[in-house]
């Protein structure tokens, strides 16, 4: 590792996107707090077994409006970090694609839980844009089938009850082992195996910084914990990291 240009790894969770109008899951005002039954809408077993769950899931995706969301200051701060020239990798639990929309180089973003911007047929594996499927829902198809084979459509995300893509996870672990600074932003660090990545980084000698509104299990292992709102805290942190490592 070049000591003058250390690798910075940033793990982002739902908290970085709340200012874009996308609700988080586990926060005080999160989706699970408001509607505990909503979790079954993103759990693979009920989703595949129950057409009513799928109908409710499609309505939730339509009403949340994640595809229309715009990047906020937190996302743009990471673009500034990349443009500073410091080596950067973003590991995201989010499925909204807002890092790429903000301007981050796509190959530098690892989408650990997949993407909500595409759907895939469970049967024939055909892939298509989520936006088109949501248009079908709005037009009156409550559970739109695959146009190619009539099979069940699902988002290209990792649902509860499914394992992460092992190749993507291994890439994330490699980044965590190689980085000099590991920043966890807007994540509760409660969902494993992704929640283990800060430990992997610290064990390898990285400096851990946590930016999150609520306590996490890794706060005591962090060199720094920031409780300020992400849209103001992350730009300030990025500016400091750039100054420190310029």
Catalytic residues: 113
Comparing CA positions, the residue from 23, 32, 20 lying closest to residue 190 is 32
Which residue reads 């796509």 in tokens? Answer: 106
What's the Cα-to-Cα distance from 233 to each of 91, 110, 188, rounded to whole Å? 19, 23, 17
Spell 212-246 as b/e; 16+ CB within 10 A means b: bbeebebeeebeebbeeebbebbbebbeebbeebe
Label residue 30 left, alpha or beta by phi (over 0 means left) and psi (-120 to 50 means alpha): beta
Comparing CA positions, the residue from 88, 93, 222 lying closest to residue 169 is 93
Q: What does the CA dihedral 3, 180, 95, 84 come to, rounded to 10 degrees?
A: -30
Structure tokens at 103: 């301007």
Distance CA 187, CA 214 (A): 9
- Is residue 200 within 8 Å of 176, Cβ to Cβ? yes
Please report the sign of the dihedral spanned by the C-alpha atoms of residue 59, residue 63, residue 68, residue 71: negative
């Amino acid at each position: 590792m070049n000591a003058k240009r250390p690798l910075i790894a940033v793990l982002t969770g739902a908290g970085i996107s709340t200012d874009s109008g996308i609700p988080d899951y586990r926060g005080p005002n999160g989706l699970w707090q408001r509607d505990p039954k909503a979790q079954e809408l993103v759990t693979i077993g009920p989703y595949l077994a129950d057409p009513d769950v799928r109908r409710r899931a499609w309505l939730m995706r339509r009403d949340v409006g994640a595809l229309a969301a715009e990047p906020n200051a937190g996302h743009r701060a990471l673009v500034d970090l990349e443009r500073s020239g410091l080596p950067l990798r973003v590991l995201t639990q989010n499925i909204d694609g807002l890092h790429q929309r903000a301007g981050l180089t796509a190959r530098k973003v690892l989408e650990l839980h997949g993407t909500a911007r595409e759907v895939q047929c469970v049967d024939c594996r055909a892939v298509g844009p989520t936006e088109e499927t949501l248009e079908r829902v709005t037009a009156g198809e409550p559970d739109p089938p695959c146009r190619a084979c009539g099979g069940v459509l699902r988002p290209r995300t990792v649902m509860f009850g499914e394992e992460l893509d092992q190749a993507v996870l291994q890439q994330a672990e490699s980044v965590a082992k190689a980085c000099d600074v590991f920043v966890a932003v807007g994540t509760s660090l409660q969902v494993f195996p992704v929640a283990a990545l800060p430990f992997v980084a610290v064990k390898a000698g990285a400096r851990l910084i946590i930016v999150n509104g609520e306590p996490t299990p890794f706060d005591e292992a962090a060199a720094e914990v920031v409780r300020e709102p992400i849209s103001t805290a992350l730009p300030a942190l990025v500016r400091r990291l750039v100054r420190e490592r310029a």
